[in-house]
Structure 1
Amino acid sequence: MKSHFRFTNYSSYFLVVEIQSIILFMGLSALAVVTKYQSPINAYRLFKITPIFFLIIWIIESNNFQNDFYTKTILVGLCFSVMGDFLLLYPSQFKSGLFSFLIGHVWYILGFISTGWKFPFLPTSLILILSIGMILKIYPNVGKLRIPVLIYISIIACMGISALGRLEAFQSTPSMLGALGATLFMISDGVLGWNKFKKPFPLAEAIILTTYYLGQWMIALSTLY
C-alpha cells in the first residue's frame, strides 16, 4: 500500500510537471508569434529560438536517452533546427539556415525509420503530388536557389514519408505524434516557401510559426512515450 501510494504521488507529480512544461512551451511559442508582428526585431530574435531550446532541455530532463537511438536522433534534429532558426533571422544567411534544417530533417528521417517502417502508399502519393506542385509553382521565382530549394523540398518530403511509414508500421501513440508533427512541419515549410517565393500574405508568419512550433512539439513529445 505504501509503495502504491508513492507510485501514485510520483505519477501525479510527473503529470503536473508535464502539463506545466506544455503550458510554458505554448507561452514561449505565442510570444514568438506576437513579437514577430508587434515588437522590435531583437525581441523576436530571442523568442524565435527559445521554444526549440526549451524542447531540447525538456527531452534531456524527461528521458534516459543515452541508450535510446530514436531520442538521440530527435535531439540532434532539434539542435540543427535551433541553428536553422538562428540563421534564418538574417536574410543573408538563408542558404545556411536552409542547410541546417535539411540536416535536421535527415536526423529525423534516421529516427523515424530506426524502429521499423512500412511503405505508406496513399500518404506518399499525396506528398509527392503536393511537392511537385510546389516546385512547379515557386521554381520560376527562386533564382540561384533552385538546386538548394529542390533538394530541401525532396528531403522534407522524405521526412514526412518516413514519419507516416512509422505510423503505418506501428499505429502507436509515439508514431502518431511523430507523423502529426512531421505533417505540421511540412505545412509550415510549404507556407514559408509560398510566402517567400510566390505570393506573400499577411497571416503567413503566424501560420508558419504556429504549425512549426506545434510540429516540433509533437515530434519532441513522441520521444516521451
Structure 2
Amino acid sequence: MPTKTEKSFSLLFIFLLALEIITSSFKHLQIFNYIAKPALLISLILFFWKQSSHLEKKIKLLIVLALICSLLGDILLMFTNHSTYFFMGGLLAFLTAHIFYVLVFLKQRNKSKKGWVFMGLMLVYGILLFYFLRDGLNNLLYPVIIYMIVILSMATTAFLRQGQVAKNSYILVFVGAILFMLSDSILALNKFYQPLPFTDFSIMFTYGFAQLFIVLGLLKQP
C-alpha cells in the first residue's frame, strides 16, 4: 500500500503533469511551459532524494543521475524548433538516463531468470517500430537505432527484476519502463513517420507516469 507521503506527492505530481500538458497545449499559455515542464522532474528528484536514505549509495546515485539526465532532456526538447542540435542533445540526455536505469535494474536482476520470450517480444516490437520509422530517419538512422536498443534493454532489465525484488517494486518499475518505451515510441512516430493526434498529451502522460512509477517502485525495494 502507498504511504501517506507517496499519496501526497503523487497528487502533487499529477497536478504538475496536468499543468505541463495544459501549458503546452494552448499557444497563449506556452510561455508558462518553460516553468511547468522542468518543475515535473525537479519535484521528482527532490522527492526521491528525501525518501531514499534506505537505498544503497551507488543505487541512489545512479537513479539521481537518471532523473537529472531526464530533466536535461526535457529542457533541451523544449527548444527543438530553434535547432536540430537541441533534439540531438535531448536524445543524448535521455539515452544516458536510460543507461543509468539499465545499470540500476541490472544490479537488482534475478540471475536465474532468462526472459528469452520477453526479449523476443521486445525484438519484434523494435523491428516493427523501425519499419515505420526507417524512411524518415535520414542522418539520424544510427543514433535512433542505438537509442532503440537502449530503451528496449531498459524494459528488458526491468522485467528481469522479477523474483529478486519486492512484488510491488517489480510491478511499478516494470509498468513504468513499458510506459517510458511507449512515450519514446509515440514521440519517434510523430517526428519520423507522420504527425499523430493528441501527441503532446499522450507523450507527456505516458512519460510522466513512467518516471513516477519507476521512482516509487525503486523506493519500495529494501
Q: How far is the alpha carbon of 1:168 from its aligned partner?
A: 5.4
- Bigger drift between 146-155 and 160-169 goes to 160-169
For 2:106, give the aligned amino acid: I
Q: TM-score, normalised by structure 2?
A: 0.90
Residue of structure 2 aligned with 1:221, choices 211, 216, 220: 216
For 1:184, give the aligned amino acid: L
Structure 1 residue 37 corresponds to structure 2 residue 25: yes
Q: Is the 8 A contact 1:184 1:215 kept in 2?
A: yes
For 1:90, give the aligned amino acid: F
Aligned to 2:105: 112
Equivalence map 1:176-215=2 (5 Å)? 176-215=171-210
Equivalence map 1:54-65=2 (5 Å)? 54-64=43-53
Secondary structure class of the residue paired with 2:197:
coil
Equivalence map 1:95-174=2 (5 Å)? 95-117=88-110, 118-167=113-162, 169-170=164-165, 172-174=167-169
- Bigger drift between 49-58 and 113-122 goes to 113-122
Q: Is the 8 A contact 1:74 1:219 kept in 2?
A: no
Secondary structure class of the residue paired with 1:166:
coil
Higher helix share: 1
For 2:67, give the aligned amino acid: L
* d(CA) in 1 for partners of 2:117, 2:203: 25
Aligned to 1:25: 13
* d(CA) in 2 for partners of 1:123, 1:66: 28
Secondary structure class of the residue paired with 2:3:
helix
Q: Is the 8 A contact 1:120 1:168 kept in 2?
A: no
**Gap runs ≥5 in structure 2:** none
Q: How far is the alpha carbon of 1:108 from its aligned partner?
A: 0.1
Q: How far is the alpha carbon of 1:68 from its aligned partner?
A: 3.8
**Gap runs ≥5 in structure 1:** 1-13
Give CA-to-partner distance per residue, 1:48-98, whole Å, 9 cap, x none: 121111110001111215734333222210110000000111112100110
* d(CA) in 2 for partners of 1:159, 1:169: 17
* d(CA) in 2 for partners of 1:187, 1:71: 25
Secondary structure class of the residue paired with 1:167:
coil
For 1:64, give the aligned amino acid: S
For 2:10, give the aligned amino acid: I
Superposition CA RMSD, Å = 1.7
